[in-house]
Structure 1
Amino acid sequence: MEKHIRIKFKSYDFRIIEKLILNLINIIYNTNTKIYGPTPLPTKKERFTILISPHVDKDARDQYEICTYKRIIELIIFDFKTIENLMKIKLIPGISIKINILNKI
């Protein structure tokens, strides 16, 4: 019985995502699993403008930007050993992971 698993990665640093995905692919490579991805999703940019003057001087402002990078991988797993290997992956701080198990007929 095959399982479809969709893993979504989110981080402020794209290098962390790439490092974890390479680690994931190296672990899964020797198992009986099909890997689709990593597919980059659109980058979300948040911009903040802050007044740096303590007075009413509206010209003195700084602008900051935070970029959120996202990647998605879809796995088709044919055996339980692959799921055990997925549980052994060491997570890196600064990354958010969401795992969805899809029921496809």
Structure 2
Amino acid sequence: MEIKTNAKIRIRLESFNHELLVSSCRKISETLDITSLNSLGMVTLPTSKRIYCVLRSPHVDKDSREHFEIRIHKRILEINYDPELPIIDLLTKIDLAPGVFYRICLS
């Protein structure tokens, strides 16, 4: 009796543009639909915001300020698969859009 263990891969995606992030997740899931996966799940993480306050004129008006913010959108793709499949080779060959940062974690 053979017991097959399932391997797990987590891909963490980050981007300033949420549309690029969604299209990258869709591209990864379409690429992995070819193989026989046990499960593929997407987890949406909270969006982090950085807010910067800048004086409009540093020498005169202290009351005149501008606020800028940067939003970082994050997703995690969790993939359960059989270790015999070449999933890692497929993931490294995927060409994602520029502006999407991703990390592949094996467990």
Q: How many residues align?
A: 102
How far is the alpha carbon of 1:53 from its aligned partner? 1.3
Give the structure-2-normalised TM-score.
0.86
How far is the alpha carbon of 1:95 from its aligned partner? 1.2
Aligned to 2:106: 101
- Matched residue of 2:86: which SS? helix
User: Greater CA deviation, 76-85 or 2-11?
Assistant: 76-85
Q: 1:80 aligns with which of 85, 92, 102?
A: 85
Identity over aligned pairs, percent: 32
Confirm or deny: 8 A CA contact 1:8 1:70 kept in the other structure. yes
How far is the alpha carbon of 1:38 from its aligned partner? 1.5
How far is the alpha carbon of 1:57 from its aligned partner? 1.2
Aligned to 1:2: 6
User: Greater CA deviation, 48-57 or 59-68?
Assistant: 48-57
Give the structure-1-normalised TM-score.
0.88
Structure 1: any 5+ residue segments left out of the alignment?
Answer: none
Matched, 1:90 2:95: yes
